[in-house]
Structure 1
Amino acid sequence: MTRPRLGRAARPLACLALLSALAACAARQPASWHPPAGPAEPAATASPAPAPAEEITLAFAGDVHFTGRTLALLKNPDTAFGPYAEQLRAADFAMVNMETPITDRGSEQPKEFHFRGPKESYAAIKAAGIDLVSIANNHTLDYGQIGLLDTLDSAKEAGQPVVGAGHDTEEAYAPYLTTVKGVRLAIVGMSQVHDLKEQWKPTATRPGIAMAFDKNLAVAAVKKARAQADVVIVFMHWGTEGQSCPNGEQKTFAKLMADSGADLVLGTHAHVLLADGFLGDTYVHYGLGNFLWYSVSKSTDTGLLTVVIKNGKVKSRVFTPGTVSNNGQPVPVTGNALKAVQQRLDQAARCTGLAPSPQA
């Protein structure tokens, strides 16, 4: 609204009329409206808006396969994830890594293991209350670009959000954005596995998965997410298979992500559980292990991570240990089995280099 200017000789009656008109105009504006600023001082740099104070609960689990022995679980998608589904559904937001591309086409790529699953996989994921799956891993292109494109198309058809891959570089590195109880979340998915990384990375004209090796793209993705969200999560596929200690590459990249604005950095891939802690006030979990698993592996240890967020930061977290049962389904453990998993987690915690609580 432009304020009319009065000359020096304006009559008092005119001033009163103008003031009355301005008051009436202001009364019609919404509560967030402010009158235009005067011509005076240079604008100050705006401070970022504080994150909403509402508490939200996030749930994360590890690698999921719908092939081999777990294929039979799709006969009843509503129960595929077993007892953990209750905790997944109870969270405000839940996420896993899916290692089976959804396709029945394509050609096997030059690598040792090849996985793929049917479209019914999405029904099981949705029934368990899982909101987002990362497909930034070393199996999404097991059947080439055709397999990846089929995965993207079938996810869209099923209404299942995915992150970490796309038709080109921009789409692959784009954060997934959602709002939960007024809290804006941005999730970036990336892989740090070396196998076929050059062939599988996206370009401006080629589909692929987001790779952590391109530091410029990785940092740009997190900064883009930071500009759009109250909470930024980086979900990684990383680590050394069979090793419960993070390698140097993981530690370096976790620090880079924290410095770039990530609030949580966590991931999967090693087939064993790793441990967690804090880099400054950024929460890091180096490895969530296998979750719904197709065959025998380096460990049957599994679990579900539940994180409570308040004011944009991790307020508390709980890891519920479990085991991968004979049908590939994850099941929480109790008694001596629980103590055994906890001992292995305690051992893994000694080599993270992370602080047990946030550091200023």
Structure 2
Amino acid sequence: MTVRIGFAGDVMLGRLVDRRQERRAVDAVWGDLLERLRGLDGLIVNLECCLSTRGEPWTRTDRPFHFRADPDWTIPALERAGVDVCALANNHVLDYEEVALEDTLERLDEAGIERAGAGRSLDEALEPAVISLTGGGTAAGGEDLAVAVVSFTDNTPEYAADENSPGTARIEIDVENEGTRALVRESLERAREALSTSDADSSLLVASLHWGPNMVERPPDSFREFGRWLVEEGVGVVHGHSAHVPQGIEVHEGRPICYDAGDFVDDYAVDSRLRNDRSFLFTLVVEGGDPRELRLTPTEIDDCRVLEADPEAAEWSRERVRELSGEFGTEFEREGEELVVDLGLE
């Protein structure tokens, strides 16, 4: 029995998305992808905003954008899509200061949506999100998979948590940096300890990274080195985001490194060349704890909601990710509208 885990890039529910949702159903933000999302065995996203109606915009340093969304609709929306884990290590969780971050943590916890990468202290930010998934959706008798997610960012140093202050699990993306290695290994060890106590049939480690600048199509060599190091440390899939556009996929030791998943839903201005309104839902198929294949379903953003991409947009996205991934030696098969990476594990 296989377990299918969905990964989405930036989910930014604030600003115009928040205002648009005042006049439509809470799950309208997921467009015609809602049933596809609900049909997954698990779903992991980068939550690119705080969930609160409180707080004042961060002004201690220059911040051009501030993202906040009303939890009264966003929490039900996340629940209806079946979101299991929100990665919070990013450059927007403190946009409305500590009180809004506190609201975000509390509302996710109340809803039973796991989170990682931010907290009331660095110790909390390093804690993994741990979930148990059953293959075959909600059907009984499937394979149980325990999944632990750790989350880090190299963005916005002023949002970094420390021993006494809330914020993100921030690192430098540098495998030679002793502090980086120590923090990541500590978080991974906590994840392994949590997985060791699970009664699931198998387990998977996920690293979700909000890294690098916006609107960049290729990861730097330091990111490639870091992604491969994570795999060598036992990570089963690297879930990258931050660039607003999908980057290539590299397969290292049979594990996929998705350098950037792009934008899943937001209200951002669209670059006519980079097309940051086009991306994918990434679905990892896992069997016995081993990733077997990665499936890419083309998506596009319209009217502050995510949709299955129309044929022209889908073909554009497929060709672009083929080109970028080909630079890493990654090849795809086409199955219907999806691209499929065979991860080569026997």
- Structure 1 partner of 2:210: 237
- Structure 1 partner of 2:324: 348
TM-score, scaled relative to structure 1: 0.79
- Structure 2 partner of 1:167: 120
| Higher CA-based Rg | 1
Q: SS in structure 1 opposite 2:110?
A: helix
1:149 and 2:75 matched: no
Task: State how 1:242-321 maps to structure 2 within 5 Å.
Answer: 242-298=215-271, 299-321=276-298
1:113 and 2:75 matched: no
1:225 and 2:191 matched: yes
Structure with more of its chain in strand, by fraction: 2
1:354 Cα shift?
Answer: 6.0
User: Could you list the per-position Cα deviations for residues 60-85 of structure 1 after superposition, in whole angstroms to 9, with x for gaps in the alignment?
Assistant: 11111122331213531132211112
- Structure 2 partner of 1:204: 163
2:147 to 178, 181, 185: 185
1:276 and 1:283 in contact (8 A); partners too: yes
- Judging changes above 3 Å, is the alpha-carbon distance between structure 1 residues 351 and 246 closer, same or farther for their aligned structure 2 residues? farther
TM-score, scaled relative to structure 2: 0.82
How many residues are matched? 303
User: Could you list the per-position Cα deviations for residues 224-248 of structure 1 after superposition, in whole angstroms to 9, with x for gaps in the alignment?
Assistant: 3234332101111113321221122
Give unmatched runs, 5+ long, in structure 1.
1-53
1:86 to 20, 35, 47: 35
2-structure distance, mates of 1:275, 1:84:
23
Q: SS in structure 1 opposite 2:194?
A: coil
Which residue type is aligned with residue 290 of structure 1? Answer: D
Q: SS in structure 2 opposite 1:252?
A: helix
- Structure 2 partner of 1:35: none
2-structure distance, mates of 1:114, 1:87:
30
2-structure distance, mates of 1:262, 1:291:
23
Q: SS in structure 1 opposite 2:31?
A: coil
| RMSD (Å), alpha carbons | 2.0
1:243 and 1:272 in contact (8 A); partners too: yes
2-structure distance, mates of 1:247, 1:297:
23
- Structure 2 partner of 1:58: 5
Q: SS in structure 1 opposite 2:49?
A: coil
Q: SS in structure 1 opposite 2:78?
A: helix
1-structure distance, mates of 2:284, 2:308:
17
1:68 and 1:295 in contact (8 A); partners too: no
1:173 and 1:210 in contact (8 A); partners too: yes
1:186 and 1:231 in contact (8 A); partners too: yes
2-structure distance, mates of 1:156, 1:136:
16
Comparing 302-311 with 237-246, greater Cα deviation is found at 237-246
1-structure distance, mates of 2:111, 2:285:
29
1:106 Cα shift?
Answer: 3.3
Q: SS in structure 1 opposite 2:131?
A: strand
1:307 and 1:315 in contact (8 A); partners too: yes
1:245 and 1:351 in contact (8 A); partners too: no
1:249 Cα shift?
Answer: 3.0
Task: State how 1:66-145 maps to structure 2 within 5 Å.
Answer: 66-71=13-18, 72-73=20-21, 75-103=24-52, 104-109=54-59, 110=61, 111-119=63-71, 120-145=73-98
1:358 Cα shift?
Answer: 4.2
2-structure distance, mates of 1:187, 1:225:
7
Which residue type is aligned with residue 313 of structure 1? Answer: D
